[in-house]
Amino acid sequence: MFTTKVAGILKGLTKPSVLKMTSRMCSTATSTYNFETLKVTQPREFVLQVEINRPEKRNAMNQAFWREMVECFNQISDDSDCRAVIFTGSGKIFTAGLDLMDMDNAFMQSDLDVGRKAMKLRKLIRSYQESFTAIEKCPKPVIACVHSACVGGGIDLIAACDMRYSSSDAWFCVKEVDIGLAADVGTLQRLPKIIGNDSIARELAYTARKFFADEAKQIGLIGRIFENKETMIQGALDTASLIASKSPIAVQGTKVCLVYARDHGVSEGLDQMVTWNQNMLQSEDLMKAMVAGMDKKAPVFSKL
């Protein structure tokens, strides 16, 4: 009875958007994602794969990479054909972190006085931080897929992702102290919250010791370990497709609210949640999902 009633409401509400969806299906132009260091493809409907693409340099993060990460994830945020992302590394390893051969002049410039040099560096570090915060600001869930080595900036990167999978050969290193710096693009802020063990987070950051997939899983950095890179990517694509089959309003709202909740107290988080859902509960997706659930059918949601 309830199903029939709700289906009636939905009839008028959703037909045009369903039709629009069918005619525009699979119209993603991944060719509009043109980057030097990132390769963007669409392996499944509503799922994008972003791959760091400097295999000959072990996917080291050069200046083009730092710039393109922001451009890429801003574009993904606005891409209605994308509902979930998997992030991979091409070639032998996931990433060797900061490109030690391609550092911005601001690191080296000795002709500036200390204040001016500090201001330049401040701007540069902020922009590098933004390169990974762009992943967090993007409302589409991002699954990091780590194979072999994930060093230095690689940890900063995966810590900004929503989920982390790895192959069994993966190893990790919070390498920064070994090159004389405190990790400054997110690891120290995000890693302790991800693993929920302050002692281990400090140990890894103070010692730069290598740790392997099984320990990464045990401390909660990695959600799932797969036999190899291929099975990991298939597993990540399956998860991404499952996410993409849900209401994009619900999924993207969940990401926004989870990120907010991590950075605020329970009471502030609940206030933000109320404001969010007082709007989003009015979405057609709510009715569609409920009716589909009761009819035991897969719901089809309009693009967002």
Ligand X SMILES: CC/C=C\C=C\CC(=O)SCCNC(=O)CCNC(=O)[C@H](O)C(C)(C)COP(=O)(O)OP(=O)(O)OC[C@H]1O[C@@H](n2cnc3c(N)ncnc32)[C@H](O)[C@@H]1OP(=O)(O)O
**Residues in the site for ligand X, rule: CB under 6 A?**
57-58, 60, 92-93, 96-101, 125, 128, 149, 151-153, 175-176, 179, 184-185
CB of 200 to ligand X, least distance (A): 19
User: Residue of minimal CB distance from ligand X?
Assistant: 152
For β-strands 163-167 and 224-226, DSSP reports them as parallel
For β-strands 47-52 and 38-44, DSSP reports them as antiparallel
Q: Closer CB to ligand X, residue 131 or residue 283?
A: 131
CB of 138 to ligand X, least distance (A): 20
If one counts every other C-beta atom within 10 angstroms of the C-beta of residue 62, the result is 20
Q: Closer CB to ligand X, residue 13 or residue 179?
A: 179
Q: Closer CB to ligand X, residue 60 or residue 146?
A: 60
CB of 99 to ligand X, least distance (A): 4
Joined together, the tokens standing for residue 233 give: 């990517």
Q: Closer CB to ligand X, residue 132 or residue 226?
A: 132
Cα dist from 64 to 60, 89, 154, 197, whole Å: 11, 16, 16, 34
Q: Is 231 helix (H, G, I), strand (E, B) or coil?
A: helix
CB of 152 to ligand X, least distance (A): 2
CB of 231 to ligand X, least distance (A): 22
Joined together, the tokens standing for residue 65 give: 């990479």
Q: Closer CB to ligand X, residue 228 or residue 234?
A: 228
Q: Which of 210, 150, 156 is nearest to 178 (CA)?
A: 210
CB of 35 to ligand X, least distance (A): 19
Q: Closer CB to ligand X, residue 8 or residue 55?
A: 55
Rounded CA gap, 82 and 47, in Å? 5
Cα dist from 227 to 51, 85, 135, 169, 230, whole Å: 20, 21, 26, 8, 8
Q: Closer CB to ligand X, residue 50 or residue 205?
A: 205
Furthest-apart CA pair in the chain: how many Å? 78
| Helices (H), ranges, the chain | 2-24, 63-77, 105-108, 114-137, 153-159, 187-195, 198-207, 213-218, 229-244, 248-263, 266-280, 284-295
CB of 293 to ligand X, least distance (A): 45
